[in-house]
Structures are given as C-alpha cells and as structure tokens.
Amino acid sequence: GHLTRKWDPKMAPYIFMEKNGIHVIDLNKTIECLDKASFALKNIVRSGRKVLFVATKKQAQDVVTEEAKRLNMPFVTDRWLGGMLTNFATIRKSLKKMSSIDKLMKDEAYLNLAKRERLMISREKEKLERVLGGISDLNRLPAALFVIDVKREHIAVKEAQKLNIPVFAMVDTNSDPTGVDFPVPANDDAFKSISLITSQIGKVIEEALMERKKDKEEANLKKEEEAKKKADEKETIEESK
C-alpha cells in the first residue's frame, strides 16, 4: 500500500500491518473481496449486459485496454469526460458524429475536399477516437463499472453512484472504499498488481460469456425439440384421420 501518513482510515479493515512506514494490505481480505466481486460480476455478464472498464492512469492503460478489447467490453483509458454516464444522451451524439465522420472518410467525396478540410476532419476523428473509441459500441448505459484507482476516477464513481450502477474497483490504502459496491483491496499503482487483478476479472467475465453462450445454445436446442415434437404430433393426428 501507501505510506502510513497517506492512508484513509476507512481502509483499516483491509490493512494487515505497518512496515517501514508503509501499510501492508491483508491478502486474505483481497482474495475474499475478489471472490465476492467475481460472483456478482458473473451474474451481471451472464445476463448479457456490459461492464465498462475505467483506468486512465499510465501504468494501467495498456493492460485494461487489451483485456477489455479481448472480451469485447467498453473501456475508457484516455480521460473520463464529465457526464459520460449522467449525460449519456450527449455522449451518444458524439458517438454518432464519430461514426458519420468514419462514413465520410470512406466516401469518394472526401477525397475531393481541400487538403485543409481533410486535415481538420481527420484531426477531429482522432480526437473523438482517442476519448470515445473504447465506448463506440455502447448504445446504452453499462450494467457495472470496473475501476482502477477510485481516488483518481472519483468522477466516474460518483456518476455510477447517482445512477445506481454497481462499481467494482481496485482500492489502495489511500482511498475511501465506502463509495464502492465491491472493493478489492490491492496496490493500484504497481503494473504487476493491476495486471494480476485485471486478468482475474477478465477470466471471470470470459467464463460468464461462455456460460451465456451455452445457455443460449441449450435454449435454442430446446425450442427446436419442442417444434419437432409438435410437428410429429400434428403428423400423427393427420395420419389417424
């Protein structure tokens, strides 16, 4: 964890000891919290809803982007735009603008534009892509947030609280865990720690997605069997006539 003078007293239940002026996190609590978070997250993903990954700190950006892309989940790793959740209608307008610029750039008419106009359009696309690229497929509010460093992403956490969206987060000793529905006490500054927890969360989501796929296949198979049964019954009645 962090230096003892930087601690948040609300993290006391998750602290194991103090060593050389630094708080040491209780890993048994980390495992316990991770299990609890995994169970809840699995149910959310299995019901077919999206989890938004939020991590704008440098050492977390690549890990989180990679994992979110692999799972086909939305992510924000550049910067959190205020109102990304609470003012989602406006964000959707920006997403529409981004896709219309995309279409325009693929059109022949784009090549006929002046060089300066083309440059302005491509710059705008780059800017939108950087900030909103990770949520381009998000057509409704996410069902949950997975956050790295609640202190840094406090705006995102506040917006989720307002909308009753559950927050799953890595919480270090300098943060307040009370605003998070499923806190996972862990070092949120070290690359290894971020990578470990993120990949664990990723595994849980992957399992839930596979279970959902299996559920769908079983439901379809059941439907087919019922349809076949009905057809056979109808045939039997016709023959008996």
Q: What are the b/e assignments for 180-218, b being 16+ CB within 10 Å?
A: bbbbbbbbbbeeebbbbbbeebbebbeebbeeeeeeeee
What is the arithmetic mean of pLDDT over 58-62?
A: 93
Residue 99 corresponds to which tokens in the numbers above? 């896709």
Residue scoring higher pLDDT (22 or 5): 22
Q: Report pLDDT digits (tens) over 109-165.
A: 788 888 888 899 889 888 888 889 899 888 889 999 999 999 999 999 999 999 999
Residue 228's pLDDT band (boundaries 50, 70, 90)? confident
Report the range of poorest mean pLDDT among 59-63, 79-83, 109-113: 109-113
Residue 241's pLDDT band (boundaries 50, 70, 90)? low
What confidence score (pLDDT) does residue 30 get? Answer: 92
**C-beta separation of 186 from 59 below 8 A:** no
Q: Report pLDDT digits (tens) over 29-44.
A: 999 999 999 999 999 9
Model confidence, pTM: 0.85
What confidence score (pLDDT) does residue 110 get? Answer: 80
Domains of the chain listed by start with CATH number: 4-85+141-209 (3.40.50.10490)
